[in-house]
Structure 1
Amino acid sequence: MRESAAERHDRLLELVRRHGTARVSDLAGLLGVSPVTARRDVEVLAGRGLLDRVHGSVSWPRSSEAGPHGAADGLVLGLLAPSATYYFAEVIRGAHEAAARAGARLILRISDYRPEEDHARVEGLLAAGAQGLLVAPGWRRPQDPAEHGGWLAGLPVPAVLLERQPEPGTPADALDRVCSDHRYGALLAVRHLVGLGHGAPVLVARADSPTALSVRAGYAAALGSLGLAAPRPAIDSVPAELDPAGFETAVADLRAAVAAGATAALVHNDVDAIQIVQRLAELGVRVPDDLAVVAYDDEVAALADTPLTAVAPPKREVGRHAAQLLVERLGGAGGGESARRHLTLLPRLRVRASCGAERTGAGAEDELPGAVRGRVPRPAARTSD
Structure 2
Amino acid sequence: MRESAAERHDRLLELVRGRGSARVSELAAQLGVSPVTVRRDVEFLAGEGRLDRVHGSVSWPEAARPQSAAGTAAGTASAPGTTPTPASRELVIGMLAPHATYYFAEVIRGAHEAAAAAGARLILRISDYRPQEDAGRAAGLLAAGAEGLLIAPGWKEPDDPVEHGAWIAGLPVPTVLLERRGVPGRELDDLDRVCSDHGHGVLIALRHLLGLGHTTPLLMARADSPTAIAVRSGYRHALDALGLKSPGGPIGSVSAETDPAGFERAVQAVRAAVAANRATAALVHNDVDAIRLVQRLAELGVRVPDDLALVAYDDEVAALADIPLTAVAPPKREVGRHAAELLIERLRRAPDGGTGGAQEPPRRHVDLLPRLRVRASCGAPADTLRASGSAHS
Pick the TM interval, shorter chain. 0.7 to 0.9
* Structure 2 residue corresponding to 1:343, chosen from 318, 341, 366: 366
Displacement of 1:253 in angstroms is 0.4
Give me the whole-angstrom Cα distance separating, in 1, the residues matched to 2:152 and 2:194. Answer: 10
* Structure 1 residue corresponding to 2:337, chosen from 299, 317, 320: 320
* Structure 1 residue corresponding to 2:327, chosen from 310, 331, 338: 310
Give me the whole-angstrom Cα distance separating, in 2, the residues matched to 1:221 and 1:363. Answer: 28
Aligned to 1:268: 285
1:311-353: CA deviations, max 9, x gaps? Answer: 0000000000000000000015969711000000000000000
Q: Which has the higher mean CA deviation after the structures are superposed, 215-224 or 355-364?
A: 355-364
* Structure 2 residue corresponding to 1:174, chosen from 172, 190, 193: 190
Aligned to 1:218: 234
User: Structure 1 166/322 Cα, relative in aligned 2: closer, same or farther at 3 Å?
Assistant: same
Q: Which has the higher mean CA deviation after the structures are superposed, 101-110 or 335-344?
A: 335-344
1:276-321: CA deviations, max 9, x gaps? Answer: 1000001110000000000000000000000000000000000000
Displacement of 1:72 in angstroms is 6.7
2:171 equivalent to 1:163: no
SS of equivalent residue, structure 1 residue 290: coil
Question: 1:144-293 maps to which residues of 2 (within 5 A)?
Answer: 144-261=160-277, 262-293=279-310
Look at both structures and tell me which one has the larger radius of gyration over its CA atoms.
2
Displacement of 1:73 in angstroms is 3.6
User: Structure 1 336/275 Cα, relative in aligned 2: closer, same or farther at 3 Å?
Assistant: farther
Q: Which has the higher mean CA deviation after the structures are superposed, 98-107 or 225-234?
A: 225-234
Q: Which residue identity is paired with 1:235?
A: I
1:258-277: CA deviations, max 9, x gaps? Answer: 00111000000011000010
SS of equivalent residue, structure 2 residue 258: coil
SS of equivalent residue, structure 1 residue 306: coil
SS of equivalent residue, structure 2 residue 283: strand
SS of equivalent residue, structure 1 residue 133: strand
Question: 1:42-191 maps to which residues of 2 (within 5 A)?
Answer: 71=87, 73-191=89-207
Give me the whole-angstrom Cα distance separating, in 1, the residues matched to 2:315 and 2:216. Answer: 21
1:198-223: CA deviations, max 9, x gaps? Answer: 01111000101111111011111111
- TM-score when scaled to structure 2? 0.74
Q: Which residue identity is paired with 2:186?
A: T
2:379 equivalent to 1:363: no
Identity of aligned residues (%): 72
Displacement of 1:362 in angstroms is 3.4
Displacement of 1:171 in angstroms is 1.3
- TM-score when scaled to structure 1? 0.76
Q: Which residue identity is paired with 2:218?
A: V
Give me the whole-angstrom Cα distance separating, in 1, the residues matched to 2:206 and 2:126. Answer: 34
Contact 2:371 2:392 survives alignment (8 Å): no
SS of equivalent residue, structure 1 residue 71: helix
SS of equivalent residue, structure 1 residue 324: helix
Contact 2:372 2:392 survives alignment (8 Å): no
Displacement of 1:364 in angstroms is 1.7
Question: 1:22-33 maps to which residues of 2 (within 5 A)?
Answer: none
SS of equivalent residue, structure 2 residue 168: helix
Displacement of 1:170 in angstroms is 0.8
Give me the whole-angstrom Cα distance separating, in 1, the residues matched to 2:337 and 2:188. Answer: 21
Q: Which has the higher mean CA deviation after the structures are superposed, 246-255 or 72-81?
A: 72-81
Displacement of 1:365 in angstroms is 5.7
* Structure 2 residue corresponding to 1:330, chosen from 347, 367, 385: 347
Instruction: Tell me how many residue pairs correspond in the alignment.
Output: 301
1:81-120: CA deviations, max 9, x gaps? Answer: 0000000000000000000000000000000000000000
User: Structure 1 321/336 Cα, relative in aligned 2: closer, same or farther at 3 Å?
Assistant: farther
User: Structure 1 302/336 Cα, relative in aligned 2: closer, same or farther at 3 Å?
Assistant: farther
Give me the whole-angstrom Cα distance separating, in 2, the residues matched to 1:299 and 1:77. Answer: 27
Give me the whole-angstrom Cα distance separating, in 1, the residues matched to 2:233 and 2:377. Answer: 24
Displacement of 1:233 in angstroms is 1.5
User: Structure 1 366/286 Cα, relative in aligned 2: closer, same or farther at 3 Å?
Assistant: farther
1:33-88: CA deviations, max 9, x gaps? Answer: xxxxxxxxxxxxxxxxxxxxxxxxxxxxxxxxxxxxx8174100000000000000
Give me the whole-angstrom Cα distance separating, in 2, the residues matched to 1:312 and 1:105. Answer: 28
Displacement of 1:172 in angstroms is 1.3
Contact 1:72 1:332 survives alignment (8 Å): no
Displacement of 1:139 in angstroms is 0.5
Contact 2:151 2:177 survives alignment (8 Å): yes
Aligned to 1:18: none
1:216-274: CA deviations, max 9, x gaps? Answer: 11111111111110111211111111101001101000000000111000000011000
Runs of 4+ in structure 1 off by over 6 angstroms are 333-336
Q: Which residue identity is paired with 2:123?
A: I
Q: Which has the higher mean CA deviation after the structures are superposed, 71-80 or 126-135?
A: 71-80
Displacement of 1:363 in angstroms is 2.9
SS of equivalent residue, structure 2 residue 87: coil
Q: Which has the higher mean CA deviation after the structures are superposed, 133-142 or 224-233?
A: 224-233
Consecutive unaligned residues in structure 2, runs of 5 or more:
1-5, 7-85
